[in-house]
Amino acid sequence: MESIINQKQKFITTKEDKLNHGIGLENVRRTVKKYDGDMRISQENERFIVLINI
């Protein structure tokens, strides 16, 4: 299985309409950063995990 996470911790959408997908977690990331938090994304097999510390 190919990774859906690139080296910058951003997801690479597998949907055909790439222009209109993939903004949800970026909105979360901006909010976490605004409050000096940390967000980490990892992948295990066919699941992804998002850990947020604020």
pLDDT in tens, 5-18: 555 666 666 677 76
Q: pLDDT value at position 5?
A: 55
If one compares 9 and 27, the residue with the highest pLDDT of the two is 27
Report field, pTM of the whole predicted structure over 0.85:
no
Distance separating alpha carbons of residues 16 and 52, to the nearest angstrom:
28
Rounded Cα distance, 46 and 3, in Å: 9
Q: Could you give the CA distance from residue 42 to residue 9 in angstroms, rounded to a whole number?
A: 8
